[in-house]
Every structure is written in structure tokens, then in C-alpha cells.
Amino acid sequence: MSLELKKVEKKIGIDTHIYPTSLKLEKNTINVLLGSTLAGKTTLMQIMAGLDKPTSGEIWFNSENVTGMKVQKRNCSMVYQQFINYPNYTVYENIASPLTITGVNSDEIKQRVGKVAELLKLSAMLNKKPDELSGGQQQRTALARALVKDSDLILLDEPLANLDFKLREELREELPKLFEDRDCIVVYATTEPSDALMIGGNTATLLEGKVIQYGKTLDVYNKPENLISAKVFSDPPMNIAEIKKNGDTCKLAGNDFQWKTSVKIKDGTYKIGIRPHNITTYKEGNNSVEINGKVQISELSGSESLIHFTNGNLNWVSLSNGIQQKNVGDETKLYMNTDEFLYFDQNNRLVNNG
């Protein structure tokens, strides 16, 4: 079972909402679409579901061309950001609705609904109406309705975005387990990189209608093909600077700071990217380099410290474990793990491979 998009493009008037995209999603995978709002995630998902037709390109499902096939004929379910449930139906009736429409007999409905309700911890709420439930429970009902159908394709459009932080964490943990025993393709759209990392599976980074990179989540995270993919997949945002490499020395552009490096790339100008947690107030890794910084903002979040610092024209952020109390204006020593530097050439493509 697989879902393949072949050069799918979506234009509305003169605006291109999705640039020609080719993707192949395999059975039993969770595929995360990661990108900011308006990156095209929802449009792409609607094309996958059949709710929208691409301006050009084809969609193939299991070696069958389903481009233009109406959504009712495709076996898919969708869960939205707003908890969408039938307000007049009880939770039981809501979950059963896709089965009732296709004429499944009531005994089988009862059995299937019961199983899914238990999976989503809704067994005690089956007789309630959606407006009597909390936000988290309403979203679970919507999820249950999507799962009971045993669809081949399940699409989740930022399903956790309207939930409280803690609820989001809990539900996010449960999601991979929900899809473990099913033979389906799951597509999950989100704006949060942490969602992608916690869910695992595969990730496609999107920006302004283009799929920048698609692959195993950790691969896309650790080896971004280009600077754009790296930026999309970073939270807090990645630190970026221009550097010049000469032999075994790297120097920051417009700054005196330099360090020794053994990275195997040609001499020249590059952009480096380093994630905040690779700049810390303590030494980490074998090739750690010291840098002085002037503290601009100091944020403590329980177990971690975020320090915004400057060095000449450099304006970067460091993320350290533990509580590091710093006052604004303090000069402090920070350590950058140069093994984790990502080098990008003038075309923003990754040049070093670890």
C-alpha cells in the first residue's frame, strides 16, 4: 500500500499554492508535514484526501490513479485543529457515524466503537454530547471517529494545536501507539518541530508551498539538505552566521572571533548553523570552542537556561541544562560544540556530512 504524488501542483489564479511536488508515502508510516502557517500543509493534505484537485500532476494510490476521484470514494479520514464533532450526536453516535452511513450492522458497530473508545479512554463518556466534554475529550472523539473507519489514509491537520500544553503532550505520546497495529498511512501536519521529533516516523519540511526535504525524522533533523530545511526544523530558532574558512581556521565574517577546525571542505565563505543546545555554559563534546558573550536576555525554564548573547555583530542564543543565573550585561564564557556545526555553501546546500 502506498500513496504517491507525482509532480502535483496547485495554482489559484496566478498564485502557486503548491509547487510541483513528488512524494511517496509507504504503508505503516507516520509522515509529518512540518512548516509554518501558510506553508501549504493543509492544501497538500486536502489534495491527498481528494477534497481538492491539483491543477496538474497525478495522485496514485496502490498503483491506481485516483487523481480527481471524489473523496467519498477514497478510503480516508481526517481530523482537524478545531474539534469537529456532530453537536447533536452523543459520543457513541459520533464515533459510529462513518459506519452507520456505510450500512454496517449494529452489532459490529458496537464492537468496533467499543474497541476504539477504549483505546482513546472515552469508554466512560459514550453517552455524553460533545459540548459536555473538555477540549481534550472532544478531540479524542474526533480521533476515534477517524480511527473506527479503518481507513487506508488518516490525515491529521494540527490536531493538537488548540489543546493546553500538558494535554498536547499527553495526546502526542499516545498517537504513535494508536497507529501501531493498523495498516494505514498517517499524515500529520504541525508547526512544532518537537511534535515531529516526539512522533518519529518520517518528516517533510515545507516552506511557502515547496517540500524542502523528506526522509526519516532524525535524518532530516541531523542532516538538513539545505539551510531552509534546517531553519524550519529548529525550535528555538537556529543560530546562523557567515564564516570564512582558510586551511584549518574558520573566522566569523565581520568579527575577530576564529577557531580551529578539522572539517573537510574547500576553503571559502560558508554559512554555519548551530542549534542553541550546542552552545552551552559548560564544555561538551571533544571539539568544543570557547567564545565570550555579553548577556542580553536570560530566560530560565525550570531545568534549562536560555541565554541570548552578543559578540561583536553576532547575536545568538544558547541553551544549557540546569539553572545558570546571569545578569543582563554580564560577560560570560560559552562553549560551542564545533562537531555539531552545519556548513552551508553559497547556495544554502549542506556541505559537511558529519
* Interface characters, 236-255, with other proteins (x: CB under 8 A): xx------------------
Q: Which stretch binds other proteins (CB under 8 A): 54-62, 70-78, 111-119, 263-271?
A: 70-78
Question: CB-wise, 51 or 66, nearer to other proteins?
Answer: 51
* Helix runs in the chain, H state only: 41-49, 91-101, 106-119, 135-148, 165-179, 193-199, 217-222, 227-232
Q: Extract the C-alpha cell encoding 119.
A: 483505546
Region 256-295 residues binding other proteins, contact defined as CB under 8 A: 275, 277
Q: In this structure, are residues 235 and 223 in contact, taking their beta carbons and an 8 Å threshold?
A: no
Single residue of 126, 167, 240, 351 touching other proteins by CB under 8 A: 167
Phi, psi of 218 (to 5 degrees): -70, -30
Q: Which string of x and - marks every residue 106-145 that binds other proteins (by CB under 8 A)?
A: ----------------------------xx----------
* Residues 188-227, interacting with other proteins (CB under 8 A): 191-194, 197-198, 200, 218, 221
Q: Does 166 bind other proteins (CB under 8 A)?
A: yes
The answer to the question of residue 4 lying near other proteins (CB under 8 A) is: no
- What residues from 20 to 59 belong to the interface with other proteins (CB under 8 A)? 36-37, 46, 51-53
Residue showing cell 564545533: 338
- CB nearer to other proteins: pick between 85 and 278: 278
For residues 87 and 121, give the distance between their C-alpha atoms in angstroms, rounded to a whole number: 20
Provide the minimum distance between the beta carbon of 248 and other proteins in the complex, in angstroms, as a whole number.
Answer: 25
Diameter of the chain by CA atoms? 76
DSSP 191-233: S-HHHHHHH-SEEEEEETTEEEEEEEHHHHHHS-SBHHHHHHT
Contact present, 259 and 338 (Cβ < 8 Å): yes
Indicate the SS3 state at residue 304: strand
Alpha-carbon distance of 158 to 34, in angstroms, equals 10
314 binds other proteins (CB under 8 A): no
> What residue ranges bind other proteins (CB under 8 A)?
36-37, 46, 51-53, 70-72, 134-135, 164-167, 169, 191-194, 197-198, 200, 218, 221, 235-237, 275, 277, 296-297, 299-303, 306, 308, 319, 321, 323, 328
